[in-house]
């Protein structure tokens, strides 16, 4: 009986083993002979190695993108730091030009008072010496001559540098640097500054430094140029990047024609008028700058000849009247600040030239997306000329009809 059970157990185990081997072979065969379409079947709830692969892929993507984001942030930080550095330099220049402008205004008033006092004192001494005799007359005559010579030298230097014109240059520079300062603050407030903004502000600062230099020796502007030209304090216009407005930027044919007419009025009326006035002021200043030292020099000669038997009467007239006339000429030139008036006219002509170039640049740019927004630009032109938008359009319409025969000026401010 025991033998029978043992044989039965051995038989069952062998059958079970053979059947398990058969199932294993079937599973292998099924695994090998999977149809092509079955590979894309998704089994819900079955955790496979794809989840791990997705996480690894996401990590690699983040590692590749994170340096780009960091570099972008670093670039924005550097651009902002550069703008703040330019802002600090501009603020410092505003203070420098303001202080030097005040100093040169003081120069003008103090030198005017001093030279006129010396000249009138010398004329008085020459007159007293004419009615005196002996040693006092010789002393007065000698003192008068020395004072006239000193006044001639001082007047020649002052007429060369024109302190009133120097002060006006510094006032213009102060105002223009404040404009740049406000522009930089606006860019920072709006946000998203670019390298182009940094380059543009740098060029504006350097162009303004060149237009209104601080030193007197070597780089001082010519106070008596051969030709009157508008002042230029802005850099060359550069092409602007696209703004992505899908081809529309506030411009149309009517606005372009309006801007062309405004350019013609500015060029033929305003700019031309200020250049004409500037030439008149320059010629007057030249005449006064030459006449003053000549009169004090002649007065010095006359005072030296006071008491001479052969030239006594004429020497007294020359010594006294020459000094009086020289003080009048000096007061007219520097008290009236003729040099400042010339610089003001030159600067105003430069303002209109800048407007003309700005309008022409926008009209020449064929890509509308690179232009300044047309509606904003029209408003800026109107504000710069002291006109409302309706007045600006009426001026353009009148200029289109009358052409150069128009009587009205473009600007209502000055």
Cβ atoms of residues 173 and 212 within 8 Å = yes
Phi and psi at 223, nearest 5°, equal -85, -15
Token pair listed for 124? 């008085």
Contacts of 180 (CB under 8 A, 6+ apart): 90, 201, 204, 205, 208
Q: Average pLDDT in the 217-235 region? A: 91
Question: Is residue 378 in some structural domain?
Answer: yes
Question: Is residue 218 in some structural domain?
Answer: yes
Question: Is residue 57 in some structural domain?
Answer: no
Top pLDDT among 313 and 10 is at 313
pLDDT digits (tens, 9 = 90+) for 13-48: 443 444 444 444 443 333 334 444 444 444 344 344
Residue 297 has pLDDT above 60, yes or no: yes
The rounded distance, in Å, linking the Cα atoms of 146 and 121 is 11
Phi and psi at 288, nearest 5°, equal -70, -35
Cβ atoms of residues 203 and 235 within 8 Å = yes
Given this model, what pLDDT does residue 310 score?
Answer: 75
How many domains in the chain? 1
Question: Is residue 20 in some structural domain?
Answer: no
Max distance between CA atoms of the chain, in angstroms, equals 181
Question: Is residue 352 in some structural domain?
Answer: yes
The rounded distance, in Å, linking the Cα atoms of 73 and 33 is 55
The rounded distance, in Å, linking the Cα atoms of 188 and 250 is 25
Mean pLDDT (the chain, rounded)? 83
Token pair listed for 298? 């002649």
The rounded distance, in Å, linking the Cα atoms of 279 and 180 is 30
Given this model, what pLDDT does residue 57 score?
Answer: 47
CA distances from 137 to 49, 130, 150, 310, 321 (A): 121, 7, 20, 17, 18
Please tell me the pTM assigned to this model: 0.77
Question: Is residue 274 in some structural domain?
Answer: yes
Token pair listed for 270? 């305003």
Cβ atoms of residues 350 and 231 within 8 Å = yes
Q: What percent of the chain has pLDDT over 70?
A: 80
Question: Is residue 3 in some structural domain?
Answer: no
Top pLDDT among 98 and 65 is at 98
Given this model, what pLDDT does residue 45 score?
Answer: 40
Question: Is residue 42 in some structural domain?
Answer: no
Residue 190 has pLDDT above 50, yes or no: yes
CA distances from 234 to 117, 165, 173, 355, 366 (A): 42, 20, 12, 11, 23
pLDDT digits (tens, 9 = 90+) for 321-362: 999 999 999 999 999 999 999 999 999 999 999 999 999 999
Token pair listed for 130? 């004419």
Residue 121 has pLDDT above 90, yes or no: yes
Q: Average pLDDT in the 207-222 region? A: 90
Phi and psi at 232, nearest 5°, equal -125, 115
The range of the structural domain enclosing residue 145 comes to: 72-233+250-405
- Of the candidates 156, 151, 141, the residue with the CA atom closest to the CA atom of residue 307: 141
- Of the candidates 311, 315, 336, the residue with the CA atom closest to the CA atom of residue 148: 315
């Amino acid at each position: 009986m025991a033998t029978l059970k043992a044989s039965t157990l051995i038989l069952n185990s062998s059958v079970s083993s053979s059947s398990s081997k058969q199932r294993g072979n079937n599973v292998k065969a099924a695994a090998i002979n999977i149809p092509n379409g079955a590979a894309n079947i998704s089994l819900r709830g079955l955790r496979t190695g794809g989840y791990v692969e997705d996480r690894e892929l996401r990590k690699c993507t983040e590692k590749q993108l994170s340096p780009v984001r960091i570099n972008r942030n670093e670039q924005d930080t550097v651009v902002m730091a550069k703008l703040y550095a330019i802002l600090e330099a501009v603020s410092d220049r505003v203070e420098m030009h303001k202080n030097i402008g005040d100093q040169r205004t003081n120069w003008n008033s103090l030198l005017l008072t001093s030279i006129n006092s010396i000249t009138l004192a010398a004329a008085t001494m020459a007159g007293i010496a004419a009615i005196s005799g002996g040693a006092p007359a010789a002393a007065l005559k000698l003192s008068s001559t020395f004072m006239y010579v000193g006044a001639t030298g001082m007047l020649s230097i002052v007429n060369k540098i024109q302190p009133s014109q120097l002060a006006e240059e510094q006032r213009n520079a102060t105002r223009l640097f404040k404009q740049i300062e406000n522009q930089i603050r606006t860019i920072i407030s709006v946000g998203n500054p670019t390298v182009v903004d940094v380059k543009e502000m740098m060029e504006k600062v350097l162009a303004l430094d060149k237009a209104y230099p601080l030193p007197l020796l070597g780089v001082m502007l010519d106070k008596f140029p051969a030709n009157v030209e508008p002042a230029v304090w802005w850099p060359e216009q550069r092409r602007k990047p696209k703004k992505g407005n899908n081809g529309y930027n506030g411009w149309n044919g009517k606005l372009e024609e309006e801007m062309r007419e405004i350019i013609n009025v500015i060029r033929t009326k305003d700019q031309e008028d200020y250049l004409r006035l500037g030439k008149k002021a320059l010629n007057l200043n030249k005449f006064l700058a030459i006449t003053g030292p000549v009169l004090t020099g002649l007065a010095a000669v006359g005072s030296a000849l006071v008491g001479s038997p052969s030239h006594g009467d004429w020497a007294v007239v020359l010594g006294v009247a020459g000094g009086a006339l020289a003080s009048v000429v000096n007061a007219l030139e520097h008290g009236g600040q003729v040099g400042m008036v010339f610089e003001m006219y030159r600067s105003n002509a430069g303002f209109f030239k800048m407007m003309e170039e700005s309008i022409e640049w926008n009209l020449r740019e064929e890509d509308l997306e690179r232009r300044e927004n047309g509606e904003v630009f029209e408003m800026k032109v109107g504000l710069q000329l002291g006109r409302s938008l309706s007045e600006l359009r009426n001026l353009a319409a009148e200029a289109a009809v009358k052409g150069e025969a128009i009587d009205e000026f473009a600007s209502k401010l000055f």
